[in-house]
Amino acid sequence: MLRLAPALIIALLVFPVGAGLIMVLLPAFGYLPALGGYGASLAPWQMLFAQPGLGRSMAVSFASGLISAAVALVIVVLFLAASRGTWLDRGIRRLVSPLLAIPHAAIAFGFAFLIAPSGLVARLISPSLTGWERPLDALIINDPWGLSLMAGLVLKEVPFLLLMSLAALPQLAPEKRLMLARSLGYSPTIGWLKTVLPSLYPLIRLPVYAVIAYATSVVDMALILGPKLPPTLSVSLLSWFNDPDVSHRFMASAAAVLQLGVTVAALLCWWLLEQLIRRLTRYWLTNGSRQRGEIILRLVGRSALLLSSITALAALVGLGLFSLAGFWRFPEVLPQMLTLDHWQRSGPMLSTPLINTALIGLISTALATALVLATLENEHRQHIQPKRALWLLYLPLLVPQIAFLFGLVVAAESLGIRPQLGLVIAGHLLFVLPYVYLSLAETYRRLDPRWLEVARSLGVSRSAAFWRVRLPLLLAPLLTAFAVGLAVSIGQYLPTQLLGAGRVTTVTTEAVALASGNNRRLIGVWALVQASLPLIGFMLALGLPRLLGTHRRDLAT
Amino acid sequence: MPIKHLPLRLTLATAMLALASPTLANPAPDDWQSVLAEAEGQTVYWNAWGGDTRTNRYIDWVAKQMQAQYDVEVAHVKLDDTGSAVARVLAEKQADNNDDGSIDLIWINGENFAAMRESDLLFGPFAESLPHFALTNATDNPEVVTDFTLPTEGYESPWGKAQITFYYDSAQTETPPQDMQALLAWAKDNPGQFSYPRIPDFTGSTFLKQALIELTDQEKALYQPVSESDFETVTEPLWAYLDALHPHLWRSGRAFPDSGPNLRTLMSDGELSLAFSFYPTDAAVAVMEYELPESVRSYVLEGGTLGNVHFVAIPYNSPHKAGAMVLANFLLSPEAQAQKQSLAMWGDRSVLDIEQLDAENQALFEQGDRHPSELPADALSNTLPEPHPSWMTALQDAWLERYGVN
């Protein structure tokens, strides 16, 4: 059974993505019998390329993916390089996992309210410092360059990359490397960058790729923060798929294929940059310079991550205030009155979505965790190196959701699989599984094999050793991976809405539907509910090991 | 069909046989008793925009009534965009799912309706067979059987009425503009304080039509398909107007709000001083929910504003057509229409010809005091009919061509 696990995982992930892509590729080249398209034609592409501003849309999607990933990576790397295990550093690290749990859309709404001309920051300094009685008519959010979109993306990517780095770091024994570098006279930050980073980067490369793919095709954040004239490619493509003029579907399918192209191009470009940087820094790594830049790097390293975390938290505080706000207009810093109305009105509507959300999240994450454990245990028992084919695991993260989900709906319908809870859970599994694998694989592989050898030498069977030695030792990382999986599941909108035909309502689908009404008070309520669920998951993940008394300091990552 | 050669398709056939539910014959709308009988115990999946808690609350009320009175369960599928329901039915047709679709009723009108009709995605005719349909007095109120100039031909049943309504903060603006030229002058005096939603948004596109009707001298052309007239000549005054207006809009026209509701949020933040909505009671409701200041007032332009009726329609592959018809009929009952119109519930205007109702039913529609931010009752008499749907698409394309890239 165990031997089948890797193949099963890959089939589970590859087949839906492949089927979805085929069902989008066919209409992109004119084949869609329901609309009278029977032949191969390039008309959808001609129509697509005739759309005004398409080039700009593509450019913004491409650039926001690369730039936000680069900025987030630099912030994380410099923080790790500069942090020395002080209370502040530990505090920031603790902040990070909850931030990972907050859905993108919630952060985007909160961030937009923070930086808008009528937003929280402007209110704090108006009219006292600025003299503004009315909000300034300035294009800050929705700027044509996508800068506010990139900033919003960075807020969410930093916690993810930091958590992934923290999970990978222990196996590199950074303290030993640093001690050696220090004994050779390197200042701590420079020493870390020269001795730890070159080994760390290959381990977090996949998460970085996932971040780039996500950022090039993100819809919810781009809708809220991204440019409008024209919007990003992902936003345009969603509106074409939903266009009342059904003939747009051909063009929308072509756009989905183009989106895949943009994402692949961004990944390729990043890979080329990697090669370039590797060449350029070869001299710097070995030039023996031990101190230069230490101060500035340390300052940036400490402040940038702190700033991004505080910004994300402030965005949440703004949402929280709005969920309780009575009338509240610029330039008032606080609402004129507080009220529980918005919570009370939403209360009765919360129960079904909450139950569905929990059910889908728990089942899909449990399935994902079981499959990942089976694959890793199989790898361990067969003494095999991680296979290259496991790259396929990341397919659902690297292929943009919007490029294959619309096709997947058609594929499922063709198979006679009707929208239902099971289909939604299967859809979530696509995205949960890779993240669980990402968070668990390294820790699993580096667990000291001597623990298991000791157990075996005491006459314990393989499976008993797995259940009684390995799992308890891995409890903390296992729970963290579970919490990451839950957070990913809870945040899914498109898969839930499309595969459930809207019948399976979760907190996220309700939040998005309500968000279309633009009532910021209600958005505040639902975003907080949405954020609180994964937050509970992370708190349990951190707290349970302590409660169960199996917390091992060296293993807990 | 070439797709039959794909190996995938072969395995599908067996799977479909195993999983597809048995095909039901469509109910006959004229035999109402059998429709009622068939509807019993059905669950109707009603796809309706879910961005407004008041609408959602009303639908919730409807669901309870339907359960109690007809033993029909109503499930509100909340959409963020009606287009996604159209896309869903289309995807099902693409996959040959012709009798077990996932949508039973859609809240729809305008170009979505036109598109679904054109692709044969709707069930009908059924609307005129609904027992309560007669209460709309369609002979004297042709708008309940006309959707953006297209005759509905019984493929959708009227539900409510909307009309473009402007609102402003009377504490900041004393005399709001009463027509398009006055609006331009007002925007020049109050730069950055007005905008309209980015095309192709529904409310934004309606603003274009509103302006076009007032500015063009060939108004009649708008009620024919766009192909029958010279688009350039008809729309030329509109583009000249927008060219003059845009520099004075919010963000100097370099960005536009997302949607009608987004205009309201910007009013709420104090970024805009003048806005409009498709729902005449929108401003009053927003004041009640702390979004807008109590000094907000509503009005309609002097020459009248665009108005339309919104409908419900049944997809061709709905498995619960009987239940959907019973629901559509209930929505037309005086009881349901009066609830819908009351400001405490939703505040959406009735499509019934209230003066033709008997005294008891008329009394249902009588409400208490008017909200100060609400439109005066007689203000909505001046309703301009919607142009042919092809104009909306043509205007959207032309707008995007001109202003879609800044």
pLDDT tens, residue by residue, B375-386:
876 777 788 989
**Tokens 């009765």 correspond to what residue?**
A348
User: What chain A residue is nearest to B97 in terms of C-alpha separation?
Assistant: A413
From first to last of its 557 residues, chain A has per-residue pLDDT tens of 678 888 888 888 899 999 999 989 999 999 888 778 887 889 999 999 999 999 999 999 999 999 999 999 999 999 999 887 777 777 777 777 778 878 888 889 899 989 988 888 888 888 878 778 788 888 888 899 999 999 999 999 999 899 888 878 877 888 899 899 989 999 889 999 999 999 999 888 888 999 999 999 998 899 889 998 899 999 999 889 888 777 888 999 999 999 999 999 999 999 999 999 999 988 888 887 787 888 898 889 888 998 998 999 999 899 999 999 888 888 888 888 888 988 988 888 888 899 999 999 999 999 999 999 998 888 888 877 766 667 788 889 889 988 899 889 888 988 888 888 999 999 999 999 999 998 888 788 878 888 888 888 998 888 888 988 888 888 888 888 888 899 889 988 889 988 998 889 999 888 888 888 888 888 889 888 888 888 888 888 877 777 776 545 544 44
Indicate the DSSP class of residue A467: I
Closest-approach residue (CA) in chain A for B10: A415
pLDDT value, residue B24: 52
For residue B77, what is the enclosing H or E element? strand B73-79
Q: How far is A26 from chain B (nearest CA, A)?
A: 10
Task: Dump pLDDT digits (tens) for B96-153.
Answer: 899 999 999 999 998 899 999 998 999 989 999 999 999 999 999 999 999 988 999 9
- Name the minimum distance, in Å, from the CA of A491 to any CA of chain B: 16
pTM of the model as a whole: 0.88
H or E segment to which residue B150 belongs:
strand B150-151
B311 phi, psi to nearest 5 deg: -130, 175
Give B315-365 pLDDT, tens digit per residue. 999 999 999 999 999 999 999 999 998 888 888 889 999 888 998 999 888
User: What crossing angle do the helices spanning A421-446 and A475-491 adopt, rounded to 10°?
Assistant: 150
- What does B310-371 look like in DSSP terms, one character per residue? EEEE-BTT-S-HHHHHHHHHHHTSHHHHHHHHSTTTT-PBP-S-GGGS-HHHHHHT--SSPP
> B12: which 2 tokens?
């599908």
CA separation for the pair B81, A243 (Å, rounded): 9
* Partner-chain contact A518 B259, CB within 8 Å: yes
User: Is residue A88 within 8 Å of residue A234, measured between CB atoms?
Assistant: no
pLDDT in the model for residue B7: 42
Q: What is each CA distance from B180 to A226, B163, B185, B209, B261, in whole angstroms?
A: 31, 17, 9, 12, 22
Min CA distance, A127 vs chain B (Å)? Answer: 14
For residues A246 and B115, is the Cβ–Cβ distance under 8 A?
Answer: yes
Q: A516–B80: do the CB atoms touch at under 8 Å?
A: yes
Total CB pairs under 8 A between chain A and B: 223
Determine the residue of chain B that is closest to A511 in CA distance. Answer: B51
Q: What angle do CA B26, B27, B32 make, to 5 degrees?
A: 165
Q: Which of A330, A516, A520 is best to mutate for the B interface (most B CBs within 10 A)?
A: A516
**Which pLDDT score is estimated for B95?**
87
Partner-chain contact A501 B103, CB within 8 Å: yes
Q: Is B23 touching A (CB cutoff 8 A)?
A: no
**CA neighbours closer than 13 Å in the CB half-sphere of residue B117:** 20
| Residues B268, A119: Cα–Cα separation, whole Å | 12
Which tokens hold the place of A227? Answer: 């440019």
Instruction: Provide long-range contacts, Cβ within 8 A and 24+ apart, for B395-399.
Output: B395/B199, B395/B205, B395/B208, B395/B209, B395/B212, B395/B235, B395/B238, B396/B199, B396/B200, B396/B205, B396/B208, B398/B231, B398/B235, B398/B239, B399/B199, B399/B208, B399/B242
Contact B90 A31 (CB under 8 A): no
Contact at CB, A245 and B393, closer than 8 angstroms: yes
The beta strand positions in B25-69, using DSSP E, are 43-49
B residues 198..227 contacting A (CB < 8 A) = 198, 200
pLDDT of residue A389: 67
In contact, A112 and A119? CB cutoff 8 Å: yes
Question: Taking 60 as the threshold, does the pLDDT of residue B63 lie above it?
Answer: yes
* Cα–Cα distance measured from residue A209 to residue B250, given in angstroms and rounded to the nearest whole number: 38
pLDDT at B9: 43
And the tokens for A491? Answer: 């945040």
Closest residue in chain B to residue A503, using alpha carbons only: B77
Note the maximum CA span of chain B.
71
Spatial contact of B270 and B214, defined as CB atoms under 8 Å apart: no
Q: What pLDDT score was predicted for residue B273?
A: 92
pLDDT (0 to 100) of residue B332 = 97
- With an 8 Å Cβ cutoff, are A249 and B115 in contact? no
Q: Which SS3 state, helix, strand or coil, does residue A557 take? A: coil
The helix/strand/coil state of A55 is helix
Q: Does B290 touch chain A (CB under 8 A)?
A: yes
Give the count of alpha carbons within 13 A of A226, CB side only: 31
Under an 8 A CB cutoff, do B83 and A243 touch? Answer: yes
- Asked if residue A500 lies in contact with residue A420, where contact means CB atoms within 8 angstroms, the answer is yes
Q: Which of residues 201-240 of A touch B (CB under 8 A)?
A: 223, 227-230, 239
Q: Which residues of B touch A414 (CB under 8 A)?
A: 8-9, 12, 16, 95-96
Contacts of B194 (CB under 8 A, 6+ apart): B183, B186, B187, B248, B249, B250, B272, B273, B274, B275
pLDDT in tens, A199-243: 999 888 888 999 999 999 998 899 889 998 899 999 999 889 888
| Euclidean distance between CA atoms B79 and A513, whole angstroms | 6
Nearest-Cα distance to chain B for A343, in Å, is 12
**CB-facing half-sphere around the CA of A6: CA atoms within 13 A:** 17
- To the nearest whole percent, how much of chain B has pLDDT over 90? 61
Instruction: Give SS3 for A12.
Output: helix
Using the Cβ of A283 and the Cβ atoms of chain B, whether some distance falls under 8 Å is answered with: no
| C-alpha distances in Å from residue A166, one per residue of A79, A141, A473, B17 | 11, 32, 18, 51
CA B341 to CA B365: how far, in whole Å? 7
Phi, psi (deg, nearest 5) at residue B304:
90, 165
Which chain B residue has the Cα nearest residue A416? B16
> CB-based contacts of A7: which residues, under 8 Å, 6+ apart?
none
ipTM of the complex: 0.84
The answer to whether the Cβ–Cβ distance between B83 and A416 falls below 8 Å is no
A-chain CB neighbours of B75 within 8 Å are: 503
Query: Residues B207-228: pLDDT tens digits?
Result: 999 999 999 999 899 999 999 9
CB contact under 8 A, B78 and A330: no
Would you say residue B241 has pLDDT above 80?
A: yes
For B193, list phi and psi in degrees, rounded to 5: -110, 10
Query: CB of B91 within 8 Å of any CB in chain A?
Result: yes
**Contact between residue B142 and residue B378 where contact means Cβ atoms under 8 Å apart:** no
Q: Tell me what the mean pLDDT of segment B166-190 comes to.
A: 93
Q: What is the pLDDT of residue B313?
A: 97
pLDDT number for residue B16: 42
Cβ distance A302 to A79 under 8 Å?
yes
For the record, the structure tokens of B263 come out as 């205009």
Phi, psi dihedrals of residue A215, rounded to the nearest 5°:
-70, -30
Check residue A387 and give its pLDDT. Answer: 63
- The distance from CA B237 to its chain's CA centroid, rounded to whole angstroms, is 27
| H-run or E-run covering A531 | helix A520-548
Cβ-contact B233, B259 below 8 angstroms: no
- Between these two residues, A266 and B367, which has the higher pLDDT value? A266
* Mean pLDDT, range B63-75, rounded to an integer: 96
Hunting for tokens 């606080």 — which residue is that? A334
Measured CA to CA, the distance from residue A259 to residue A262 in angstroms comes to 5
